[in-house]
A and B are shown apart, each in its own frame.
Chain A
Amino acid sequence: MIRFENVTKVLGRRAVLDDISFEVGEGETFVIVGLSGAGKSVTLKHMIRLMLPDSGSVIIEGEEINHLGRRALQEVRSKFGVLFQSAALLQWMSVCDNVALPLREHTKMPEAEIISQVNEKLELLGLGDAGDKYPSDISGGMQKRAGLARAIIMNPKIVLYDEPTSGLDPVTSRRIDDLIVNMREQLGITSVVVTHDLHSALAIGSRIMMLHEGRIVENATPEGFIKSKNETVQSFLASQYITKKGKWEELIHE
């Protein structure tokens, strides 16, 4: 579905992506983890050609996208819904108008139908009563969820999530996790999730890839990821208390 072939991207003298190759299969929930600055967001941006690689190719459903013309690029982008790290809502529009924007721009749907679809998505994300508020008046977590509602309003085939749960409380985070899983199970949507939260990565991911200093240090199933011998992976796991002998273990299973 999504394939990177030897992608290299230099930003400000540093190879942020250094000869990266991987593939995301249809219906997968592909999780990308890594430290801050590892190039996770940059990787997502290459999938929708917000950035062009210096060398290598990005292939979406068998189509190399780096040389596409305008129309064809639109076609490819319409397969995607994207939740940006900063939510990227338009500040001068209400939450409802933000979510409705793609429908208003690209469909001839009557207004009543638009509103009902928007409300349905807002309900789904627990934003039922925030529709009339402006992005600056709601919390960061709510902005994220509004951004997510906008990302999925056109029922895309592939959804890219850039840190969907950062800044969210644990309960809401799990709800977003459930949503990602549901979209995969019920609608067969392919997801690429960037996250720092390994617990959620292990819970929802069908594959987990770790980026470090521009390279892929691990790309495996959750099981394989936990068992990885790679030191960077091990210390990343340990940093989130995913160790053989967890210190909570005895307490919980008394």
Chain B
Amino acid sequence: MSYPVRSAERVGGQVLQLFHNTGHAMFMLLEATWFIQFSFGKRSRHETVTQLYITGIKSLAVISVVAMFTGMILALQTGLELRRWGQEEFIGSAVAVTMIREMGPFMTGLIIAASVGSAIAAQLGTMTVSEEIAALEVMSINPNRFLVMPRLVALTLMMPILAVYTNILGILGGAIVGTTQLGVSLTSYMNNATEFATNKDLYVGLFKAFIFGIIITTVSCHQGFMTSEGAVGVGKATRRSVIISFLVILVVGYMITRMFYL
């Protein structure tokens, strides 16, 4: 067979594989969504609470630092620019609107994908290669209910909450820079920040965070379940889950912004 035909065939095969995997991941997500009704039932309560705790508490330190500095950087950059026109008092709105619309959910998404998402992929991957998933199936315990659903609940609940937290810390970080470096008074910073940020900005931001939670759960659980080849495979699955989550978060984040603001 000639080279073009062969490579076309290979690309075709990969595209098919991609569709197949996406379908698989979607089915997993749908099933886990259906099982949400049992999330606080007797059998799943414990796991759901554990996952809520892991997602909500364990990443708080990193999120705090990143959120603070994001706000500080935003304030500094826009502040320096605004100062040229004598408009420093507008850094409040610049920071608040950027955080709430974009940076809050986006930063939270990246951090959670890199910390919680990668941990999910590694754990489920290890379970797959050590036959624990197979054991669950033989015991007729549906992994999508037993493992995916609690993580889905935890991530979709926690992502918006964490995004709000990120927003608040980011705006605070901006305030610190604004008051200490740029000579804006705290009251005018705060007034300005609350004046221009609309409810719509908040809702769209929260909606994004919620969607990012779904994306991270789906990608990392699916990568975990697809793991093969022992410990090496677990490493690959973890890396892939972070990369794919990042890409999908970027693309979907853009599409949501476009949908609501264009």
Contacts and interface: CB of A to CB of B under 8 A. Distances in A.
Bound together: yes
Given A104-B43, A105-B43, A84 B140 contact: no
A168 to B, nearest CB: 18
Interface stretch (A19-27, A74-82, A121-129, A173-181): A74-82
Interface string A153-186: 0000000000000000000000000000000000
Nearest to B129: A86
Interface residues of A, number: 20
A50 B135 CA distance: 9
Interface residues of B, number: 13
Interface in B128-149: 130-132, 134-135, 137-141
Contact of A78 (B131, B134, B135, B140): B140
Contact of B139 (A45, A86, A89, A102): A102
A85 B131 contact: yes
A105 B141 CA distance: 7
A84 B135 contact: yes
A88 B134 contact: yes
B120 to A, nearest CB: 13
Given A84-B135, A88-B131, A101 B141 contact: yes
Contacts of B130: 86, 88
Contact of B135 (A74, A82, A105): A82
B221 to A, nearest CB: 16
A188 B132 CA distance: 28
Interface in A41-94: 45, 48, 50, 74, 77-78, 80, 82, 84-86, 88-91
A203 B60 CA distance: 59
Contacts, number: 42
A253 interface: no
A247 interface: no
Interface string A92-114: 00000000011011100000000
Nearest to B126: A91
B139 A88 contact: no
A50 B138 contact: yes
B186 to A, nearest CB: 46
B132 A89 contact: yes
B134 A50 contact: yes
A78 B139 CA distance: 7
Nearest to A162: B131
A78 B137 CA distance: 11
Interface in A194-245: none
B139 A101 contact: yes
B43 A80 contact: no
A78 B138 CA distance: 8
Given A86-B130, A86-B131, A50 B137 contact: yes
A84 B141 contact: no
A90 to B, nearest CB: 6
A91 B135 CA distance: 13
Contacts of B135: 82, 84, 88
A87 to B, nearest CB: 8
Contact of B140 (A85, A104, A106): A106
Contacts of A50: 134, 137-138
B63 to A, nearest CB: 24
B130, B134, B140, B141 pick with most chain A CB within 10 angstroms: B140
Interface of B: 43, 126-127, 130-132, 134-135, 137-141
A-B complex: 10 closest residue pairs judged by Cβ atoms: A88-B135, A88-B131, A84-B131, A74-B140, A88-B132, A82-B138, A86-B130, A50-B134, A102-B139, A86-B131
29 contacts: A45-B134, A48-B138, A50-B134, A50-B137, A74-B140, A77-B137, A77-B138, A77-B139, A78-B140, A84-B134, A84-B135, A85-B131, A86-B131, A88-B130, A88-B131, A88-B134, A88-B135, A89-B132, A90-B127, A90-B132, A91-B127, A91-B132, A101-B141, A102-B139, A102-B141, A104-B43, A105-B140, A105-B141, A106-B139
Given A77-B140, A85-B131, 9 more contacts: A45-B134, A50-B138, A82-B135, A84-B131, A86-B131, A88-B132, A90-B132, A101-B139, A105-B141
